[in-house]
Structure 1
């Protein structure tokens, strides 16, 4: 408010100065004397009119700037809320990993940038037995432990998702065959090391079977999934707690 008053005063006094200057030039040039009334009119009228008009203009301008700031703040908050909603919609509620749809979208996007990499499908072994024996809440606890183990096993920047009830997937960006084997085996080992004791002191073993495939240059996501699924089936068929990448078998330690 003080700034509006000062700016309006400056405009008003400038208007008075301009009015008096014109009066001193124009009135004598027309052959009239500069009387007290003319002096008063040349001072008071521009002072009042300019002050009121400029104050109103500056006030409206300040209100408009304030409205623009509020609008920008509201827009930023709305954009942030929208990003949070998008992020929440893309995540699995329980594990925080990407859900199935978002994982495959991220996989497809990464494949467009770099052809090299490996896809792993990770499935919890005998998980129905845990749900049937201890209930689904205990099963959820086991899944969270397995999800944490998978996160410890992958590298920074790899894409993780929960693509089924007890099935996870990892896309190892830019991984070679040897890197993919090391990561897959590290995940398997991290899960195997979990000491899960849902009741009493008895430890319930948790293991995973992992099927993986290297990503060929022209392979589609559906082709990669089928290839990794076949390796996962082989791991299950050969006794579980195994990692199989393409045709090679990494036996449990």
Structure 2
């Protein structure tokens, strides 16, 4: 408000000065004289008109700037809220990994950017027994530990998702054959090392079976999933706690 008052006062006095200069220049040029009443009009009119008009204009301008600031702040808050909602909608609520739909969309995008990589399907072994024996809350805890182990085992930049109840997907971006086998074995081993203790007197082993495939240039997402799922089924049928690729098996020691 003080700024508006000072700016309006400056405009009013500038108007007064301009009025006096014009009057003292033009009136004598036309043969007239500035008398007492003229001096009064030349002084009062600029002040009476310019100050209120400029004050109103500056006040409106300040309101407009404040409205623009509020609008920009609201827009930024809405954009941030939208990003949070998008992020929440794309994540599995329990593990924080990508959900099934978002994982496959990310896999499809990654496949378009590179013709190298590998897909792993990771499934927890005998998980129904944990739920049946200790309850679903304990099963959820076990699932979180498995998810954390998978996250530790993959590389930075790899894409992870929970694609089923106890099934996870991992796309190893631009991984070579050897890198993919190594990461799959690291995932299997990291889960195997978990000491899951659902009760004070009992430790339950946790293991996963893994089916993997190297991403061929011409293969689409559906084909990759079909091949990896076939390898997963093979790992299950061979006794579980295995990681099986087209070219071989990574097994527990």
3-state DSSP of counterpart to 2:172: strand
Match status 1:200 vs 2:200:
yes
3-state DSSP of counterpart to 1:120: strand
Per the normalisation by structure 1, the TM-score is 0.98
5+ residue gaps, structure 1, are none
The residue aligned with 1:142 is 142
Task: Give the Cα separation in 2 of the matches to 1:107 and 1:48.
Answer: 72
Task: Give the Cα separation in 2 of the matches to 1:32 and 1:129.
Answer: 111
The residue aligned with 1:45 is 45
Matching of residues 1-253 of structure 1 within 5 Å: 1-253=1-253
Give CA deviations for 1:195-220 in whole Å, capped at 9, x if unaligned.
11101321111100000001111210
Task: Give the Cα separation in 2 of the matches to 1:36 and 1:214.
Answer: 100
Task: Give the Cα separation in 2 of the matches to 1:83 and 1:193.
Answer: 37
3-state DSSP of counterpart to 1:58: helix
Task: Give the Cα separation in 1 of the matches to 2:33 and 2:123.
Answer: 104
Give CA deviations for 1:98-119 in whole Å, capped at 9, x if unaligned.
0000000111111111121000
The alpha carbon displacement at 1:132 in A equals 1.1
The alpha carbon displacement at 1:25 in A equals 1.8
Task: Give the Cα separation in 2 of the matches to 1:119 and 1:136.
Answer: 29
The alpha carbon displacement at 1:7 in A equals 1.1
The alpha carbon displacement at 1:29 in A equals 2.4
3-state DSSP of counterpart to 1:143: helix
Give CA deviations for 1:219-252 in whole Å, capped at 9, x if unaligned.
1000100010011011011110000112311121
Task: Give the Cα separation in 2 of the matches to 1:32 and 1:152.
Answer: 95
Task: Give the Cα separation in 2 of the matches to 1:172 and 1:67.
Answer: 49
5+ residue gaps, structure 2, are none
Once the two structures are overlaid, the 10-residue window that deviates more, 87-96 or 197-206, is 197-206
Task: Give the Cα separation in 1 of the matches to 2:9 and 2:111.
Answer: 66
Task: Give the Cα separation in 1 of the matches to 2:201 and 2:3.
Answer: 74
Per the normalisation by structure 2, the TM-score is 0.98
